[in-house]
Amino acid sequence: TFSPMTLFPVPAFSDNYIWVLHDGQRALAVDPGEATGVSSWLTQHGLSLDTILITHHHADHTGGVDALREATGARVIGPAFERMPEPLQRVSGGGHIEALGLRFEVLDVPGHTAGHIAFFTPDVDGQPLLFCGDTLFSAGCGRLFEGTPAQMLDSLTQLASLPHNTRVCCTHEYTLANLRFALAVEPGNAALVDHAGHCQQLRERNLPTLPSSIGLEKQINPFLRCREPAVAQAARGHDPATTSETVSVFATLREWKNVFK
């Protein structure tokens, strides 16, 4: 019998989401920075934790792994080249894993951290799905803690090439702050203005602005729009040393966002 998959963002800390995907019985959880919230959510819904996916080494993505592994026996899958809570299965770009009967491709997306990975599966009840950690946020992207602008731009370009209807599961509810910056970059982007109004309403009702989609992000996310003349011009307005190279536009946007209030 066919059982549809359910996707739910369990909130953690002040602005993290621990994404849970389940088939009504078995669940996978992504980047559990803490265990208590997600484990009581799973219990409430009568789910057993089958698999934990980890995108990168930061504590707000890994802090709950040991407790969840111990309590549930879930297997843990994470990046090949980062410090991780052992034991786990280590994977890297070009590899794939199976979980809940789904095949996930592993993508290397360095930039936020050096060994950051993402998980993509092409068909969850007819729609592709992406767990991208802190690489791509709605209307934004992760900070460059361990990577260069060129690496992050490559990683984001790889994600932008996924199908338009891919559901994008980002790990932080940063959307409103990102949209304020995006509007400073592209005040004339009608899709952006429209989406900002929509997200404002969602947050007033305390609802998540996620998942996003690749198609939407290509319309509203300045970090995916560095080739747009208006975005390049805004970057030059912030830093006249910005060249016509896409990576220079990207680097300026990332630095501008770091100081944007």
User: Which residues would be at the binding site for Fe ion (CB under 5 A)?
Assistant: 60, 134
Pairing of strands 102-108, 117-124: antiparallel
Kindly state the smallest distance separating residue 127's Cβ from Zn ion, in Å: 26
In angstroms, rounded to a whole number, what is the distance separating the alpha carbons of residues 59 and 139?
24
Are 68 and 74 within 8 A, CB to CB?
A: yes
| CB closer to Zn ion out of 108 and 186 | 108
* Binding-site size, Zn ion (CB under 5 A): 2
| CB closer to Zn ion out of 134 and 186 | 134
Across 203-229, b (16+ Cβ under 10 Å) vs e yields eeeeebbbbbbbebbebbbbbbbbeee
Q: Which of 60, 108, 116, 195 is catalytic?
A: 60
61 is annotated as an active-site residue: yes
| CB closer to Fe ion out of 32 and 149 | 32
Q: How many residues does the chain have?
A: 261
Interacting positions 6-65 with Zn ion (CB under 5 A): 58
Residue 134 interacting with Zn ion (CB under 5 A): yes
60 is annotated as an active-site residue: yes
Q: Which of 22, 56, 116, 195 is catalytic?
A: 56
112 is annotated as an active-site residue: yes
56 is annotated as an active-site residue: yes
E strands present in 13-152? 16-22, 26-30, 48-53, 75-79, 89-91, 96-99, 102-108, 117-124, 127-133, 136-137, 140-141
Kindly state the smallest distance separating residue 60's Cβ from Fe ion, in Å: 5
* Residue 117: C-alpha distances to residues 59, 93, 120, 210 (Å): 16, 7, 10, 20
With CB under 5 to 8 Å by kind, the binding choice for 195 among Zn ion, Fe ion, none is: none
Are 133 and 112 within 8 A, CB to CB?
A: yes
With CB under 5 to 8 Å by kind, the binding choice for 217 among Zn ion, Fe ion, none is: none
In angstroms, rounded to a whole number, what is the distance separating the alpha carbons of residues 133 and 234?
28
Kindly state the smallest distance separating residue 174's Cβ from Fe ion, in Å: 9
Kindly state the smallest distance separating residue 71's Cβ from Fe ion, in Å: 23
Active site residues: 56, 58, 60-61, 112, 134, 172
Which residues contribute to the site for Zn ion (CB under 5 A)? 58, 134
